[in-house]
Amino acid sequence: MTDGPAAPRLRSLAESDLDEVLQLNQRWVPHVGSLRFDSLAELVDLAELAVGAFADGELAGFVVVLGPGAGYASPNYRYFSARHRLFTYVDRIAIAPRAQGTGLGRVLYEGVVDHARGVGSPVVCAEVNLDPPNPGSQAFHERLGFVEVGRQWTYDDTVQVQMLELVL
Ligand SMILES: CC(C)(COP(=O)(O)OP(=O)(O)OC[C@H]1O[C@@H](n2cnc3c(N)ncnc32)[C@H](O)[C@@H]1OP(=O)(O)O)[C@@H](O)C(=O)NCCC(=O)NCCS
């Protein structure tokens, strides 16, 4: 019997990963917001948790998570800041096309939930685009138990997002 591919190894993102992270992020615009190298580096600095999954030394996916009180101008982050004193906000998750549908998104979110529990946060928050649509991510979040708590138009009314929460 031959072994299948090794499970991706998870670790905190380092500055040396950021070129690869940026490349994967930009692969998925507009499902995730566009970044430049400096805005990505700033975001990772603000993050409570920034984790990459590496398979055969290559980035297979990543997640970036913020807690309360971050100086982050995103209208979606501000939406959840106004609703909660304590919360865990998934700013973005992206899986490389070759690793989609293999359970890696679920594994990264399990890490987010563990982190949230560890810091005493009662809720995980995220948003998904409704327009332009992202039905794959909507199905993913629904499968993981997230529920819609609102909708908003952002970025000069060019993007409509569904605001989601998973109560722990
Ligand atoms: C959305 C995304 C994060 C999901 O990650 P993933 O690793 O592909 O998903 P998983 O394999 O962990 O799936 C977890 C569950 O969600 C379901 N799911 C995932 N993608 C789905 C899809 N496109 N349609 C229906 N269900 C889906 C799976 O069936 C699975 O359910 P199961 O465990 O009961 O079988 C990933 O596809 C991605 O990076 N997409 C592009 C970027 C993006 O949209 N990011 C999110 C922005 S809000």
pLDDT digits (tens, 9 = 90+) for 26-52: 999 999 999 999 999 999 999 999 999
| Residue 100 CA, closest ligand 1 atom number | 8
Taking the centre of ligand 1 as the mean of its atom positions, its distance from the CA of residue 5, in whole angstroms, is 19
Structural element, H or E, at residue 46: helix 37-46
Residue 106 φ/ψ, nearest 5 degrees: -60, -45
Q: Where are the domains of the chain?
A: 9-167
Protein residues with CB under 6 Å of any ligand 1 atom: 28, 31-32, 93-95, 100-106, 128, 134, 136-137, 139-140, 143
122-138 pLDDT tens trace: 999 999 999 999 999 99
pLDDT-above-90 percentage for the chain: 93
Instruction: For residue 124, give the nearest of 101, 144, 104 by alpha carbon.
Output: 144
**Using CA positions, which residue lies closest to atom 7 of ligand 1?**
105
Label residue 155 by pLDDT band (50, 70, 90): confident
- pLDDT of 58 strictly over 60: yes
| Residue 95 CA, closest ligand 1 atom number | 39
Tell me how far apart the alpha carbons of residues 118 and 35 are, in angstroms, rounded to a whole number.
29
For domain 9-167, the question of CATH label 3.40.630.30 is answered with yes
Contact between 69 and 20 under an 8 Å Cβ cutoff? The reply is no
